[in-house]
Structure 1
Amino acid sequence: MNYCKKGDAVLLDSLTEVKKELKKKMKKKSVCLPSLSEHDKKCIEHIKEKTRQLNQNNVTRTQAYFKFYLQYPEIHWALLGHMISRNVGWNMTDLKGELLTKLLSEKEQLAFFTFLERGSWLIFQDIYSQFLIYDLGVRRGKEMFHLLPFFHTSTFMETMWRYFWRSGDRYTLAIAMVINEQSYLEKRLIQNDRLQKNVTGTVGFKMYEFLRLNNILFPYYPGGKEQKASLVGATSRQFTSLHKRILFGKNLYSLLFQRGEILEGVLKWAHGSPHTGSRKDYWPDLFNDINESYPRALYKRRVKNCLLKKDANRLYSPPLKYAWPAASHDDRSEEDWFEDWSVMEYLKGEANFDGEILTSYCKTFETIELAVMAKEALLLREDGT
């Protein structure tokens, strides 16, 4: 580490100044770390330990995001991250649920879970330390972003946090976080050779996209009234494209924060629906966290237009704690992803997204059920020959 004297923070009041600062940082070969007081060192250890404690699994991460948003609603990404993290949890438990266990081998299930868990862990490890440094600054009445380099935070985000501290620009900070988290994952997850071989480059992953299992759902109570949850959301396309993922994140942000009735309804639903990882959390009339089906029985169509057929059992969707054990992780890479100031172009223009997802989501069930029945029929035919 290269240490230097702690100087005054750069004052950033406009995005033009942000761009100039980022261009200047790109030219530097190394990061100059400020010297630390004993209090700063204790703060760093506290932040590392608290982040470690809350980064145990998808449920602890998801709850931590929501709790932070309730404390600091100006940090919009905390709520967006909470809702996306819920979806990651549902995707994890789907792998041990009613349908995908009939389509994916145990090896494929584990590979997909490892991929989802690693990405979820990496993002939390990166973003939550930033949240705690912001919290520290608010409580002390002065910004503490000189601590960010000690957590290997991107120089891009260090610059954007300083801009937010002075401007209060909630939208720009949220989209900057979308850019940061997806860029952060690019080399560590998406371009990881081992994960490409075992997950993103497999036939199973292509099937995952074909079956439209990559839906992001935001359950909400229309009009803020507690009743059966309605759904808005979107389906991710070309997940391995960084550009597409950033645009997708912008769309999800616009859906959540640019329509007051959606934001109110999502918050109402999230308050009353603790995250377990089971899809029963939002649709208990269609999903159950107890398996009601007979083992080894051939699968029959149960769902039409997102409603159970008469006398059909609900689909099994287990809680995370029963689906997967706690996972261990290697330390993250310290490499800074920021290499090109032109990523700021993503900050321009707000997305306008209607979020209609129900028709597509309902068709997903029908497609998966047909795939399950086709596979079972093929296996029967093979056994009979």
Structure 2
Amino acid sequence: MNAFVRLFAMLSHPVQALYRHWLYRQSISISSSAMLHKLFEEKMPRKPLTDEERKLVMTIKNETTRLNRDNVTRTEAYFSFFQRHPEVHWAFLAHLVSRNGGWNMTDLKGSLVPVVVATEQIKPLFLFLERANTLIFHDAYPQLLLYEKSKEQKKKLFHLLPYFSVSAFMQPFWEHFYETKDAPVLTVALIINEQQYIQQRVVQHPFFQEQVIKTFPFLCQQWLGFNDVLIPYKSGRHVRLTGITVRDFADVSHRIEIGKALYGMLFYRNSLFQRVYHFACQTKHTGSRADFWPHIFSKTNDGGRIFSPTLSDAWPVMEHRFPDKRDWFYDLTILHEAERIPLMSHPSLTLHYADNLKKLQKIATATKQAMHS
């Protein structure tokens, strides 16, 4: 079955298949097909809540809502959780990716992007980024808190996951993790789950398809490298960048592979992890790119450096509703994605990103000149 799935993927998405082949030049096995399928053999019936469980569900929902205020609170919540529970690797990965989400949001109100992107396209781009960011937190953070409560109470509480509308895909993985502390398998499961979760609700949503995914600015950003997932890390007194480029955000399989590659890069290269963690500890997330390169970016529009505002200065807090309770998970073929992760040496994106900035500055300058000619 796995061979058939891979063959079908190669025929239907040849570019992504080639990219996957390149990613997996060096990879490691983190689980087997037999082990993964065994996790799903036991049916887990849904039981009525006790009064104590009902209170716990409400407490977790309230805490999730409180911290799901904006990109800054979400990003910090992930990091705080990781510091309390460093065995849950996904929380740190989510923190770093969420930092990138915030930078992309504030770019839309900085001194470069608004010059080259039409005014009417700025708000939809922000809503796209914000909706994906808030949905992932809405789905994932209750899972993290339920694990925390399970540790505190010294008993598994994952039978409560359906009361947060979490996919049935996740309960077997949390049960397995509680018993084994198998961090790679849980991390990849969460990567798969969250990307599938936003695929239905954001990427395939008609509004975002029309207003964002199919627009020229969004496609240009991808192929010019402005959708790079940047991971800053300390190198002496300097902050350098590594990470990976996202070439096809609309493709859920591509995003899953990107997440797995980032995980392998961070957690299987200990020297890099320590330097990235050092940066995260020392650098509070504000949404401004001045957080990592204050010599190039400024949180105020001082006319010298590139203006990169904080999130609170760039965008108001948005109100969100979460009416869609659909479960994306309907068969086991997706499990093959949790068998291996690619191992990449971390590429230096420092010069690459600096070059992309220069390109964007040239485009912005040319656009301004054309507008005034």
Say whether the 8 Å CA contact 2:241–2:350 is kept in structure 1. yes
Amino acid at match of 1:35: P
Matches within 5 A, 1:303-322: 313-322=304-313
Structure 2 equivalent of residue 299 of structure 1: none
Amino acid corresponding to residue 348 of structure 1 in structure 2: E
When you count helix as a share of all residues, which structure comes out higher?
Answer: 2
Q: Distance in 1 between matches of 2:240 and 2:61?
A: 38
CA RMSD, Structure 1 to Structure 2 (Å): 1.7
Q: 1:69 aligns with which of 52, 73, 82?
A: 82
- The match for 1:93 is 106
Offset of residue 15 of structure 1: 6.3
1:253 matched to 2:263: yes
Give 1:110 deviation, angstroms: 0.7
From 307, 314, 330, the equivalent of 1:339 is: 330
Pick from 56, 67, 71: which aligns with 1:58?
71
Aligned counterpart, 2:281: 271
What is the CA–CA distance in structure 1 between the aligned matches of 2:165 and 2:330, rounded to whole Å? Answer: 15
State the AA in 2 paired with 1:353.
Answer: M
Partner of 2:240 in structure 1? 230
Correspondent of 1:348 among 339, 342, 345: 339
What's the counterpart of residue 41 of structure 1? 54
Contact 1:111/1:199, CA 8 A, preserved across alignment = yes
3-state SS of 1:218 partner: strand
| 2:348 is equivalent to residue 330 of structure 1 | no
Distance in 2 (CA, whole Å) between partners of 1:99 and 1:75 is 37
Q: Give secondary structure in 1 for the equivalent of 2:244.
A: strand
8 Å contact kept, 1:92–1:113: yes
In the superposition, the TM-score normalised over structure 2's length comes to: 0.88
* Alpha-carbon shift at residue 16 of structure 1 (Å): 2.8
Give the conservation status (yes or no) of the 8 Å contact 2:32–2:339. Answer: no
Tell me the alpha carbon deviations over residues 288-316 of structure 1, each in whole angstroms, 9 at most, x when there is no partner.
Answer: 101112xxxxxxxxxxxxxxxxxxx2111
Tell me, in whole angstroms, the C-alpha distance in 2 between the residues paired with 1:176 and 1:244. Answer: 15
CA offset digits 1:106-140 (Å, max 9, x no partner): 32111110000000000000000000100110000
- The alpha carbon displacement at 1:350 in A equals 2.5
CA displacement 1:203-235 (0-9 Å, x = unmatched): 22112223321011111113xx5x221111111
Q: How many Å apart are 1:163 and its aligned residue? A: 1.2
Mapping 1:1-385, distance limit 5 Å: 16-22=34-40, 32-222=45-235, 225=236, 227-293=237-303, 313-356=304-347, 357-381=349-373
Shift of 1:250: 0.6
Distance 1:331 1:156 in 2: 19
Partners of 1:132 and 1:174 in 2: CA distance: 15
Post-superposition offset of 1:23: 6.5
Which stretch shows the higher mean deviation, 244-253 or 99-108? 99-108
Corresponding letter in the other structure for 1:19: H
Identity %: 36
By relative contact order (CA 8 Å, sep 6+), the higher-ranking structure is 2
Query: TM-score, normalised on structure 1?
Result: 0.86
Q: Which amino acid aligns with 1:327?
A: M
Does structure 1 conserve the Cα–Cα contact (< 8 Å) formed by 2:106 and 2:308? yes
Counterparts of 1:54 and 1:190, CA distance in 2 = 24
In the alignment, the residues of structure 1 paired with residue 107 and residue 33 of structure 2 have an alpha-carbon distance, to the nearest angstrom, of: 42
Letter aligned with residue 243 of structure 2: G
**Stretches of 4+ moved more than 4 A in 1?**
none
| Correspondence for 2:21 | none
Specify the alignment match of 1:310 in structure 2. Answer: none
- CA displacement at 1:373 relative to structure 2: 2.1
Q: Deviations over 1:231-265 (max 9, x none)?
A: 11111111111111110111111111111111111
Asked whether the equivalents of residues 66 and 78 of structure 1 are also in contact (C-alpha less than 8 Å), the reply is: yes
Q: Is contact 1:23–1:341 with CA below 8 Å preserved after alignment? A: no
CA contact under 8 A between 2:299 and 2:307: conserved in structure 1?
yes
Rounded Cα–Cα distance in structure 1 between residues aligned with 2:130 and 2:227: 15
Contact 1:216 1:235 in 2 (8 A): yes
Check whether the contact 1:98–1:317 (CA below 8 A) recurs between aligned residues: yes
8 A Cα contact 1:254 1:353, kept in partner: yes
Q: What CA distance in whole angstroms lies between the structure 2 residues aligned with 1:284 and 1:366? A: 16
Once residues 210 and 32 of structure 2 are traced to their aligned partners in structure 1, the CA distance between those partners, rounded to angstroms, is: 43
Q: CA deviation at 1:165?
A: 1.3
Q: Aligned partners of 1:85 and 1:268: how far apart in 2?
A: 17
Distance 1:193 1:124 in 2: 22
**Structure with bigger gyration radius:** 1
Does the 8 Å contact 1:59/1:277 carry over to 2?
yes
Deviation at 1:18, TM superposition (A): 3.8
- Deviates most, 104-113 or 232-241: 104-113
- Structure 2 counterpart of 1:64, one-letter code: A
Task: Measure, in 1, the Cα distance between the counterparts of 2:298 and 2:35.
Answer: 53
